[in-house]
Amino acid sequence: MKKTLITAVLVFVFGSLAFAQDEPQVPEEKKGFDKEKMFFGGNFGANFGDYTLVNLSPQLGYRFNRYIAAGVGINGIYSSFKYRDFNNVTYARSNYSVIGLNVFGRVYPIEQILIQAQPELNYVTEKLKEYYPGGDRISKRNGLVPSLLVGAGGAIPTGRNGAVIVMAQYDVLNSDRTPYGSRIFYSFGFNAGF
């Protein structure tokens, strides 16, 4: 009887240990500023020819937690377009440039999906030069143009702290001089951690 009792106790103890599971260790989140939560990114692009576009719009952000990120950025866009007639003769050329600042806030409902709001203030310069036999005519317009971009998109991971960002956005203020037009537009960019 004594052997049976000892055997039963040993089976119970070792059986319990066999089915025991370790609780996963959740790393303790650092308090305060964490350099590893910073990211750099933005939109960059270029096109040359009758339609020329150069876009340098870097952003610097901070990922507060899995769900929220925010940051600041600089907008720099230059574009020009040559207007040609049926004989391929240039009859006008337009130049358009944007320099501005933005702040953005992102919510990630799940890791690969983001919703973003981005208020901006841009200084926009427009110049149209029309070529006439009697002399050229130049018209210019410039000034501050506010924008409020809202949109959603995907963050495709590219490593530990990196992602390619694909978004559909819309300028809800829809000024007649907005650099984004009056329709939904698509943007492609990236984020890279420090």
Q: Which region among 10-14, 104-108, 160-164 has the lowest average model confidence (pLDDT)?
A: 10-14
CA separation for the pair 43, 96 (Å, rounded): 18
Mean pLDDT within 99-124: 96
Give the confidence band of 1 by pLDDT, cuts at 50, 70, 90.
low
Local structure of 6: helix, strand or coil? helix
Integer-rounded Cα radius of gyration of the chain: 28
Strands 137-157 and 163-171: antiparallel
Instruction: Reply yes or no on whether the pLDDT at 165 is more than 50.
Output: yes
Picking from 129, 51, 49, 131, the residue whose alpha carbon sits closest to that of residue 91 is: 131
Structure-token pair, residue 74: 């600089």
Q: Which region among 1-5, 76-80, 164-168 has the lowest average model confidence (pLDDT)?
A: 1-5
| Strand-pair partners of 55 | 45, 77
Q: Write out pLDDT tens, residues 68-93.
A: 999 999 999 999 988 889 998 889 99
Instruction: Reply yes or no on whether the pLDDT at 179 is more than 90.
Output: no
Give the confidence band of 111 by pLDDT, cuts at 50, 70, 90.
confident
Mean pLDDT within 171-179: 88
Please classify residue 114 by burial: count the beta carbons closer than 10 Å to its beta carbon, then call 0-12 exposed, 13-18 middle and 19+ buried.
buried
Structure-token pair, residue 167: 């978004």
Note the pLDDT of residue 177: 84
Mean pLDDT within 10-37: 61
What average pLDDT is seen over the chain? 85
Residue 150 near residue 174, CB atoms below 8 Å: no
The pTM assigned to this predicted structure is: 0.74
* Percent of the chain topping pLDDT 90: 49
CA separation for the pair 169, 102 (Å, rounded): 15
Backbone φ and ψ for 86, nearest 5 degrees, come out as -65, -20
Pick 161 or 69 by higher pLDDT.
69
Residue 25 near residue 171, CB atoms below 8 Å: no
Give the confidence band of 7 by pLDDT, cuts at 50, 70, 90.
low
Please name the CATH architecture into which domain 35-193 falls: Beta Barrel (2.40)
Note the pLDDT of residue 2: 57
CA separation for the pair 61, 30 (Å, rounded): 18
Q: Domain-by-domain residue ranges, the chain?
A: 35-193
Buried-exposed string 51-67: b where 16+ CB fall within 10 A, e elsewhere: eeeebebebebebeeee
